[in-house]
Structure 1
Amino acid sequence: MCFRTTAKIMLIAAAGLFVSLAGILPASAVDYSGKKITIIVPFKEGGGTDGLARLFAPYLQKELPGNPDVIVLNQPGGGGVTGSNKFQRTDVKDGTVLGMGSTSTFVAYAIGGEKVKYDPMSWEPIILMLRGAIVYANGDKMGLKGGLNDPKGDVAIAQSKPVIIGMKTPTSAELSDYISWRILGANVKPVFGLSTSKQRKAFFREEIMANVDGTGPYLKKVVGKSEFNTVPMFSFGYDGPDGNRLRDPDAPDLPTMEEFYQAAFGKAPKGPAYDAYRNITGLRVMSKLVALPPGTPKDVVETYIAAMKRIAEDPKAAKAIKKTVGSLPVFYGEAAKPIMAAGFKIKPAAREWMSKELGEKFNVKM
C-alpha cells in the first residue's frame, strides 16, 4: 500500500473518530483557569440569600473546570431591585458573573414596580430551590391557639385585635404574610423597614405580634426561643402535581392556610384575594435561585448545572443546603422555568385586587 493511500485511510479513520466523539464531548471546553467568578447578591451581608451564595462559593471553586476564585458581591438596595437590575444589564456572558434571585426579587417583579428593570424569566437558571414558610404569632398577648386547635376562635381574635407584623417594604417577601392574614379578615398593621432578622428580633421584643419565617429558620431560631408562648398558625405549604397545596414536609403536623381557612369558615378559600395569595405565597416558596445572565451560551449553562448537581450530591454540602432551604423539591436548568412561570402568572382579577389593596393601604402603584 502506498504512503498516500495509507495517509488517506488514517485521515478518514480520524475523521470518523472525531465525529463519534463529538456526541460525547462538549462542543467547546469551558475552562475558568486563572479567572474570577462573581456572584451578585442583591442584598446586604448576613441574610439568607447572602448565606446561601457564600455556602456555594467554595464548592463552585472546587467543581468548576479550572478551579477559579469565587467571590460574593453584595449589591443591596430597593429590596433586591438594585442588584437584580445590575445583573440584568451585565454584558458578561462567559459564566464569570452569576446572580442570586429570592422571594423579594420575585415578588417585586411579579407586582411590576416602576424601578424593576429585570426579568427573571430571561435569566438562565442553574438551580431553583423551594423553601417552606410558617406564620406564627404571640399566643399570650393575642390569645391565639394556632393550627387546628381553635381556628374559629383564632379568626375572631384576629378580626378584633390589630395583628401587627413586620415588613421590609410593601412589596417585599412579607407581602405573603400580610395577604394570608387579610384573607382571614384580620386587622393587619404592618411595621415597615424591618429586615428578616430585625422582624424576628421585634417579635421576641413583643413589638410585633405575628411574623413569618422560612421553615428551617423557624424551627432553629424561633421554636423555644421566646419568653412567651409562640404559636405556629399555619404553613404556606407547596403546590403538588395536581395543583393542590400540600403540607410542608418539614412541618407535617401544621395545617396549610387552606386547611386552617376551611376549619374556620366551613368552606374552601376562593376569589381574587385568594388567587393573589396563591401567587405571592408560591413566589415565597420559590425561595432561592442561582442563575446566569440572559444569552449565556448553552455549554456554559450545562457546565454550571453539572457542577451544581455534583455539589448537591456532596454529603456535607447537601446537609448544609437542607439546613438552609429544607426538604422541598429542587429544580435544575430548564426544569425551573415552568415553576417560575406559574408563580409569575397573576390572574387579572388577582392583580386588580392587589393593585387596589397596595394602592389604598400603602400608596403603591402596580
Structure 2
Amino acid sequence: MTTILSLGRPGRRDLLRLGAAGLAAAGALPGRAAQAQDFAGKTIEFIIPLAVGGGSDTWARFHQPFLSRHLPGQPTVVVRNITGGGGINGTNQFAARARPDGLMILGTTGSIQFPYLLGDPRVRYDYKAWAPVLAGPTGGVFYVRPELGVRGVADFAKFKAAQGLKYGSQGPTSLDIVPALAFEILGLDVQIVFGMQGRGAGRLAFERGETPVDYQTTSAFNAQVMPLVREGKAVPLWSWGALNAQGELVRDPNFPDLPHFAEFATAALGAPPSGPAWEAWRTLFVAGFAAQKFVVLPKETPAAILDAYRGAFARTLSDPEYLEKRVSVIGEYNEVTGEACDRAYAAATTMSDETRGWVRDWLLRRFNHRL
C-alpha cells in the first residue's frame, strides 16, 4: 500500500503544489516582444556547474537541441561543464560573468540551491539576482550492491548491521545532503566520502565496488543504472518520492513499485519518521527534488530576451519529439515556464531560520563542517 505523507505547512501550501497537477500548466506564450528578439548567428553557453555524465548534464544535453530549434534565429547552444565545489565554482563564475544579453544561461540543481539556502560562505551568487525561465522537478533512486544481501525493507536489520558502508559524495552541502539525512533518520552507519565531481563519479565508484551504496537522480538512473539493475549488479531500495497537487509525499510516478523514502523509513523504524532530521530532510527534498532544476538568466536581462527564452521552452514542452523522448531522459515529470516556474522558484529558495540553524549544527557535529 502506498503511504501518503503531507509535507505542507500552513501558509506554504501554494508553494508546495509542485506535483503533476501543479506543474501541468506551462504558462502563456510570450507576445510580440519575444518575436522581435533574434539570436541568428549567435552562440549560447549553457553552463552546467557539474561534471559530464551526471543527472544535470544529461538533462542539459537533452534540452540543448530543442532550445536551439525554438529560440528565434536558431542559435548554436553549447553545453559547458565547469566542475568544482559541488557546483559552487561554476555557479560563482556564472554570477560573475553572465551579461544581460541572453548569451549565457545557467542550469541549476539542488546541489547549487542547498549552499545558498544554508548560507555557505563560498557562495558568491544570489538567486534573487536571477530570472527563471524553466523549472522542473526530478526524483531519485537509492540502490545498493547485491553483495550486501539487501533486497528490501525486510532485510533492514541486515542493512543496519552491515560493515564498511561507504557513499561517494560531492560535498556536505551538495544534493547528497538528502541521502546523508536519510542515513541519519534510519540510523545507518555509512562513511560518506567527499570529493566526487558529480553524481556520475559517484556511480562509477559504485560500479567499481568502492562504494556499496549510491543514488542517482531519475534521468541518470534511467540512462545509467537501469542496465545495472537488469544485469543484477544493482538493487534499488527506495525512491525519494514526489509531491502531488496537495503537497503530499507520494510514490514517484516513474517508480510506482518502489516505496518512497518515508514509506521505507516507516516500515524500517516501525513508526513514521519525525524529529529535526526529518524536518530538515523534507525541506531539502522540496528544494532538491520537487523543485530542483531551473534555467536562469540575470534578472536585469531585457524582457524581450526573457520572453524569447520562455517562448522557446513553452514550444519545447509541446514539441512532439520532446514528448516522445522525455520519459526516457527526464521521466514522468512536467517541466514548466511562466508563472508556474516562478512559483516553483520561490519554493525552492525558501528555508526557515529554525531548519537552517539545525542543519548547520548537524553539519558541524556530523562532518565537522562549519559554514
- 1:146-161, aligned counterparts within 5 Å? 146=152, 148=153, 150=154, 153-155=155-157, 157-158=159-160, 161=163
Q: 1:259 and 2:266 equivalent? A: no
CA deviations 1:66-119 (Å, max 9, x no partner) are 222322333322121122122223462122221111121112222221110112
**TM-aligned CA distance change 1:256 to 1:51, over 3 Å:** closer
Aligned to 1:75: 82
| Distance in 1 separating the partners of 2:363 and 2:73 | 49
**TM-aligned CA distance change 1:30 to 1:347, over 3 Å:** same
- 1:207-356, aligned counterparts within 5 Å? 207-223=210-226, 225=228, 230-285=234-289, 286-356=291-361
**Contact preservation (8 Å) 2:142, 2:236:** yes
CA deviations 1:129-154 (Å, max 9, x no partner) are 2111011122432x3232x5x1xx50
Q: Aligned to 2:336, what secondary structure does the other structure show?
A: strand
Gaps of 5+ in 2: 1-29
Aligned to 1:185: 187
Deviation at 1:277, TM superposition (A): 0.7
- Which structure has the larger Rg? 1
From 205, 209, 213, give the equivalent of 1:206.
209
| Distance in 2 separating the partners of 1:204 and 1:25 | 51
Q: Aligned to 2:238, what secondary structure does the other structure show?
A: strand
Q: 1:104 and 2:111 equivalent? A: yes
Q: Aligned to 2:205, what secondary structure does the other structure show?
A: helix
| Distance in 2 separating the partners of 1:322 and 1:27 | 29
Aligned to 1:114: 121
Which stretch shifts more, 23-32 or 304-313? 23-32
RMSD over equivalenced CA pairs, Å: 2.5
Deviation at 1:220, TM superposition (A): 3.9
Which stretch shifts more, 126-135 or 69-78? 69-78
Code of the aligned partner of 2:38: D
Task: Give the percent of matched residue pairs that are identical in Structure 1 and Structure 2.
Answer: 32
Q: 1:59 and 2:66 equivalent? A: yes
Which stretch shifts more, 329-338 or 45-54? 45-54
Deviation at 1:155, TM superposition (A): 4.9
**TM-aligned CA distance change 1:69 to 1:118, over 3 Å:** same
**TM-aligned CA distance change 1:219 to 1:350, over 3 Å:** same
Deviation at 1:54, TM superposition (A): 3.2
Deviation at 1:358, TM superposition (A): 1.3
Deviation at 1:27, TM superposition (A): 8.3
**Contact preservation (8 Å) 1:182, 1:188:** no
**TM-aligned CA distance change 1:54 to 1:231, over 3 Å:** closer
**TM-aligned CA distance change 1:215 to 1:42, over 3 Å:** closer
Aligned to 2:38: 31
The alignment's TM-score, normalised by the length of structure 2, stands at: 0.83
Gaps of 5+ in 1: 1-22
CA deviations 1:146-197 (Å, max 9, x no partner) are 2x5x1xx505632564532111112222221111111011112112222322
Code of the aligned partner of 1:202: A
Q: 1:169 and 2:174 equivalent? A: no
Aligned to 1:363: 368
Which stretch shifts more, 194-203 or 304-313? 194-203
| Distance in 2 separating the partners of 1:160 and 1:121 | 44
Code of the aligned partner of 1:273: A
Which stretch shifts more, 287-296 or 182-191? 287-296
Aligned to 1:8: none
The alignment's TM-score, normalised by the length of structure 1, stands at: 0.84
| Distance in 2 separating the partners of 1:274 and 1:351 | 13
CA deviations 1:269-303 (Å, max 9, x no partner) are 12210011112222331342211112222222121
Q: Aligned to 1:332, what secondary structure does the other structure show?
A: coil
| Distance in 2 separating the partners of 1:222 and 1:298 | 41
| Distance in 1 separating the partners of 2:300 and 2:81 | 23
Deviation at 1:24, TM superposition (A): 6.5
Code of the aligned partner of 1:136: Y
Q: Aligned to 1:49, what secondary structure does the other structure show?
A: helix
**TM-aligned CA distance change 1:24 to 1:345, over 3 Å:** closer
**TM-aligned CA distance change 1:155 to 1:30, over 3 Å:** farther
